[in-house]
């Protein structure tokens, strides 16, 4: 039996489920953590994995899920913090920011951002001394403007900043922390407005799962990997070098006769 194990959130469907299937095919035992007990339980049974009902927005729920996996299998080598939602329903064309309810605002932050913090807080002490990896699901929305759902983009900008900062803070440890930034993927949360657009390719979850598993196995710590097409290679997007920008601005200012 494989000694490699994985802890996956938001794994009952979409990208998470595809990652669970791919890791299982590679001989990894998977813990499927989700609030969807029906699909999550069925997937765990299919893959001979472990299903744990887990609400990522609740730290006690996350902590209990981590404790159960560690008690049964030991520290996981691979962690995919994938749970995520959008503010808008898939069939809604747009939701004005002033029409977002406080409950909607708190829900998307609770799942998309608190969920990452809770996962890192509970799992880093466990995984830090391994040679494994923690991959966060961000989005290409972290580099762009998303008029249809600014709050979703906000959480993904934050996810990228959180990943890069925590990766840098753990540079002296063997654990690797990185992020996948998908374009449009065929999952239940994708807005209908994105489907059929000439300039957007809707990728399969299997395509994205391959990138996630490669990040878990081989990705660099601090890497933000962008995947927008099944037919094009993924690219790593580096953070902005503020020092270089400042130097360029100073150089430009010194050449200005008015200064």
Q: Which is catalytic among the residues 94, 105, 152, 157?
A: 152
Distance CA 169, CA 165 (A): 6
Q: What angle do helix axes 59-73 and 115-127 make, rounded to 10 degrees?
A: 30
Asked if 54 contacts 32 with a C-beta cutoff of 8 angstroms, the reply is: no
- Which DSSP string corresponds to 126-152? HHTTSS-EEEEE--GGGGS--TT-HHH
Active site residue 152: yes
Asked if 83 contacts 10 with a C-beta cutoff of 8 angstroms, the reply is: yes
> Which of 57, 197, 73 is closest to 126 using CA atoms?
73
Distance CA 195, CA 92 (A): 13
3-state secondary structure of 29: strand
Residue 83 neighbours by CB under 8 Å, 6+ apart: 9, 10, 16, 34, 56, 111, 112, 115
* Catalytic center residues: 152
């Amino acid at each position: 039996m494989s000694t490699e194990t994985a802890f996956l959130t938001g794994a009952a469907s979409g990208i998470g489920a595809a990652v669970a299937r791919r890791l299982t095919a590679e001989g990894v035992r998977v813990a499927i953590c989700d609030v969807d007990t029906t699909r999550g339980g069925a997937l765990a049974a299919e893959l001979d994995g472990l299903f744990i009902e887990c609400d990522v927005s609740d730290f006690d729920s996350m902590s209990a899920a981590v404790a159960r996996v560690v008690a049964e299998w030991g520290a996981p080598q691979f962690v995919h913090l994938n749970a995520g939602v959008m503010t808008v329903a898939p069939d809604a064309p747009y939701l004005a920011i002033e029409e977002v309810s406080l409950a909607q605002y708190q829900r998307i932050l609770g799942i998309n951002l608190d969920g990452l913090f809770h996962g890192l807080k509970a799992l880093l002490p466990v995984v830090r001394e391994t040679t494994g990896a923690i991959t966060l699901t961000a989005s290409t929305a972290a580099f762009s403007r998303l008029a249809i759902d600014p709050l979703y983009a906000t959480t993904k900008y934050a996810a990228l900043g959180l990943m890069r900062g925590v990766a840098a803070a753990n540079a002296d440890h063997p654990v690797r922390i990185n992020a996948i930034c998908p374009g449009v993927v065929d999952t239940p949360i994708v807005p209908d407005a994105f489907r059929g657009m000439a300039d957007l390719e809707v990728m399969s979850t299997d395509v994205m799962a391959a990138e996630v598993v490669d990040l878990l196995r081989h990705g660099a710590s601090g890497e933000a990997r962008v995947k927008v097409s099944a037919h094009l290679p993924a690219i790593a997007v580096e953070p902005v070098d503020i020092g270089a920008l400042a130097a360029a601005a100073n150089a430009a200012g010194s050449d200005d006769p008015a200064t």
